[in-house]
Amino acid sequence: MSTLSMKVTCALRLELFESNVRDYAGSTAVNNAIGETLRSGTGEDFWWFNNGVTVVADAAQIVGKKIVVKDPQIVNVLRTSHEVYSYFQAGGQHRDRSLLVKIVVAPENGTARDRIIRATNSQTQLPAGALRATEPIQKDIDESLTHGGGYYYERRASYCSNPGFPVDQVVIEP
C-alpha cells in the first residue's frame, strides 16, 4: 500500500458530497467511534477501522505525484468526513494517518454511477450480538463441538447452512 499525503484544509466542501445518499447524523454510536479512532493515541492506523472513501469521477489521471480528478463526487464517507473535520476544528493534532481512497471513473452513459453509489452506501445492519461470533469463547465452542462430537456450531448467520451441514447436527448460537 502506498502512502498518499494530503494537507487537511479548514473547510468541509459539502458540494463534493452531493451524490451521498445520507447526510451527517450528528452524535451517533458510529460517529462517536469514528471520532474516538481519531483521538486515540495508539499505534493503530485509522484506515484499519474505516471502509475508506469512494470517489466517482468523469476522469482521473496521474500527473507526477498527484492525481488530477475531473468532476469528483465523494459517494460515501460523509460521516467520516464530518468527524475528521470536527476533530481538526476542535484542535486535534495531525498524526501520520492513512485512509483508503478508491477513485472510480464511471462511464457517463448508463446507470453505473448510480449503482456504484447504491453499492457503497448499502451497509448491512448487524444485530447487536453479531460481533460476538469472533470472540475466542465462541471459537472454542465451535472447535469443541466439531472435534468432540461431530456437531457444528452456527456462531454466524448461515455458517452451517451454506455448506449444507445436516440440520440435526447444528447447534445454534443463543
Write the pLDDT tens digit of every residue in 102-153.
999 988 766 888 888 877 776 666 666 776 777 788 888 888 888 877 888 8
The DSSP call for residue 69 is E
Give yes or no: residues 113 and 137 share one domain: no
Instruction: Name the 3-class secondary structure at 83.
Output: helix
- For residue 64, tell me if it sits in a domain: yes
Give yes or no: residues 107 and 25 share one domain: yes
Centroid of chain to Cα 125: 12
Backbone angles phi, psi at 133, to 5 degrees: -60, -25
- For residue 5, tell me if it sits in a domain: no
pLDDT given for residue 21 in this prediction: 66
CB 23 within 8 A of CB 46: no
> Domain range spanning residue 148?
130-172
Give yes or no: residues 38 and 100 share one domain: yes
Give yes or no: residues 74 and 96 share one domain: yes
Examine the pLDDT at 38 and tell me if it is beyond 50: yes
pLDDT given for residue 105 in this prediction: 93
R_g of the chain computed on alpha carbons: 21
- For residue 7, tell me if it sits in a domain: no
Q: What is the pTM of this model?
A: 0.62
| pLDDT mean across residues, the chain | 79
The DSSP call for residue 71 is S
